[in-house]
Amino acid sequence: MNHSTQHSPLDRLPAWLLALLALALGGLLALALMTTASGQVGLADSRLTNIVLPLAAAGCLIALSLYSPLAGFLAWIALAPYSQHLALDLRLGAGIPDLSLSRMLAGFLLLLVITQAALGKRKLRPLAWSDLAYALFLFGLLFSVPQTVYGKLEGVQTILDAYIVPFIALFIARQVVRNQRDLRWLTVVLMASAVAFSLLIIREQLTGEVLLYSREAARYSRSFQKVISLMGNAAPIGVSTAMAIPLGLTMLAQSLQAGSPATPARRAGQLVLAAALAICALGVYMTYNRASWLAVAVTLVVLLALRPRMRRMLLPVLLLAAVLAIVFWQTVVNSPAVTERLLEDDSVGYRTTVLRLAL
């Protein structure tokens, strides 16, 4: 990561282009929301949602990517979780793989950065050893496709969406996030997405109503709702939210560092960021999903181990939490979060059985 103070491409976007793109995307999303919420999809509506909206959305994002690959990438990762629910994926009919927004943008941005590198307009960052290890993992994963009970085509599409597209997104992020300004833009987008996820989690846990997913509500136990809004499972939405927390903490620590001017705008930004982090932490907790809780714990351990500045900011908070846990220990260990979720072992037995069958 280049730590220079060079400007991000987003800083050079002209106001007229920002306004035009905002109007276009805003209009498309409003139309998609109204069509989705109407509940009465006729032939014209079907053509609109299956063809016109996806192509228009992809066209807007491709145009934005041509001007600034970073802006296109950020718009993609912000919209990707909602694309299938807002008619932004191109449905090609039975037997033909759909062209989802993520598939289209992943392919286009990958081609764009490689083309720019071939023309000498961009220097590609080299692959790391972890990338090669992941490639070997994918190679091994593809060998499991003939064994799937859902069909080979469905198996390949699952691997594409769940493993290959995220890997392409990581590769593209390494190429387009070039300096601290770019990283701040990425952090802002990921934190905004995490706050939106958290609000969905909290709302479903409190009301029991599922949003943006065509499944009925489900429960982990008598006390807790199983969050399935947006992504169909608590683990992906919880882990996605948890992964934004270290970026937000790092941004807050940099903003609070000694020597930074204490302007009203900076103070307001710090308060907004702190509130966003609190909402994200609450959202992850209210998934009542152990993988999400573990994701937060691992990120905190890594930050404390590698970033001395984080120790000064987080240790007082963690010590206070530890003192409160000790004082109210009996209440904590007897709470439903511990007895019904943390210590629940049915899913552990299920995973052990699956592992035994797989081996």
Interatomic CA distance for residues 242 and 298, integer angstroms: 10
d(CA 88, CA 99): 10
- Locate all alpha helices (DSSP H) within the chain, ordered by sequence: 15-38, 43-47, 53-67, 69-79, 101-118, 129-142, 152-159, 165-176, 180-207, 234-256, 264-285, 290-306, 308-327, 329-333, 336, 346-358
Give the mean pLDDT of 10-18: 59
Q: Using CB atoms within 10 Å of the CB of residue 159, give its burial: 0 to 12 exposed, 13 to 18 middle, 19+ buried.
A: middle
Residue with tokens 């392919």: 107
pTM beyond 0.85: the answer is no
pLDDT digits (tens, 9 = 90+) for 333-348: 888 888 888 877 776 6
pLDDT recorded at residue 4: 45
Looking up tokens 């573990």 gives 294
pLDDT, residue 47, reads: 62
* CA separation, residue 205 to residues 62, 141, 211 (Å): 37, 35, 11
Distances 158 to 59, 146, 150, 337 between C-alpha atoms, Å: 25, 13, 10, 32
- The answer to whether 296 and 242 have CB atoms below 8 angstroms apart is yes
Q: Which residues pair with 225 in a beta bridge?
A: 219
Tens of pLDDT, residue by residue over 296-323, are 999 888 888 888 878 888 888 888 988 9
Q: Bridge partners of 179?
A: 2
Contact 231, 213 (CB under 8 A): yes
**Mean pLDDT score across all residues of the chain:** 83
Condensed to tens digits (0 to 9), the pLDDT of residues 137-176 reads 998 888 888 887 778 888 888 899 999 999 999 999 999 9
Interval 97-141: pLDDT, tens: 778 899 999 999 999 999 999 999 899 988 888 888 998 999 888
DSSP 90: B
Residues 213-239, mean pLDDT to the nearest whole number = 88
For residue 240, how far is the Cα from the chain centroid? 5
Quick one: which of 166, 168, 164, 68 has its CA closest to 116? Answer: 68
Q: Return the pLDDT at 239.
A: 94
Over residues 277-286, the mean pLDDT reads 96
Q: By percentage, how much of the chain surpasses pLDDT 70? A: 82
Strands 218-219 and 225-226 come out as: antiparallel
Query: Which is higher by pLDDT, 266 or 44?
Result: 266
Task: Kindly tell me the burial class for residue 23, based on how many C-beta atoms sit within 10 Å of its own C-beta (0-12, 13-18, 19 or more).
Answer: exposed
Question: How many C-beta atoms surround the C-beta of residue 55 within 10 A?
Answer: 14
281 and 295 in contact (C-beta within 8 Å)? Answer: no
Q: What is the pLDDT of residue 342?
A: 81
What's the pLDDT score for residue 261?
A: 74
